Structure 1
Amino acid sequence: MARSVLGPEIERLIQLLAKLPGLGPRSARRAALALIKKKDQLLVPLAGAMSLAAERVKVCSVCGNIDTVDPCAICSDPERDARTLIVVEDVSDLWALERAGAMKARYHVLGGTLSPLDGVGPDDLTIDALVRRCASGEVSEVILAVNATVDGQATAHVITDRLTATPVKVSRLAHGVPVGGELDYLDEGTLAAALRARTPF
């Protein structure tokens, strides 16, 4: 076994970077080298930003978003439609919808999807908290913005079943042809969903 020529601090940096999504050992080595080469411009400010984030970032007790305040800025925004809740799997999905800027609603982050193979059941997600929010009478519509995967659809069905006892209307994102998409490049499942969800023209 080859002996490492790197110091333990550098090895540790590489190991931690390699745990990030999208970074394997090779990409982590390149990222670590770039940080070290630009220590003053990148490494030191990044370390400071990460330390500050670790100290100040918290999970919103209402919706599950992450922010530096609790409740988060979205839950506290009086301009938001409190009657509409968009249910997402993860904070990254919330951020994606916010970038689109299509709706000024509020959110509920599930913290994942049901996955029996991975041992993730309803109690591991924030489904109970969602039901409580809907039972309060303030929410009139829940939009299920979960991924069109097997686990995502199973999660959507469980949520729909759990919300039948509440007065809310449940809808979901339309699935089908993306804006700018060409039919020839789409899979059969997407085309079938687009045909089922067709709208008047």
Structure 2
Amino acid sequence: MTTYLHKHDLPDDIDFGRAVAIDTETQGLSLIRDKLCLVQLSAGDGNAHIVQMDRDAYDAPNLIALLQNEDITKIFHFGRFDVAIMQRDLGVDTHNIFCTKIASGLVRTYTDRHGLKDLTRELLGVDLSKQQQSSDWAADELTQAQLDYAASDVLYLHQLRTILTARLVREGRLDVAQSCFDFLNTRCRLDLMGWDEIDIFSHRMRRD
């Protein structure tokens, strides 16, 4: 595995093929308070590219063009957060999404454990380390441990998509999964507007 660190944007000539795995790192999990620090990407080839964002400008035209490219599938795990934070800080909707957490929820109905660590352990026999999950991602210089952790979050998403897609087809739920993926940009806009904990489809719209 090789991890490439890029400052502020992707290189001009990078090619991720027809599907790219994407994850983000922020200072915390608040869509109001915490800024986007890193965007990690992988073509599924065992290598990872990490973009260390300029948190003052967020000038990343190559990354934005990739997110908007409808011909390339973007594979996330819990894309609801990643897509929202990139909507907010990069000002971009992400097109053509596959979310392994949504897919897992639709087909792994025998469990309520749908975290990335749970998926990779069960479906791939890989035990991911989460030791660096709580880390200072805004640091000017990232440690090798941080880079390795950030990379690990995208290295297995292509394999998970293949397995989960087969299960969605088996269970006859691929269409509903695609509808969920297509709705993610709207779901993220609702989160950013303050409807993150309120079900607007419910008869009684309230915080429980």
* TM-score normalised by L of structure 1: 0.30
RCO higher in 1 or 2 (8 Å CA, sep ≥ 6)? Answer: 2
* Structure in which a larger fraction of residues adopt helix: 1
* TM-score normalised by L of structure 2: 0.29
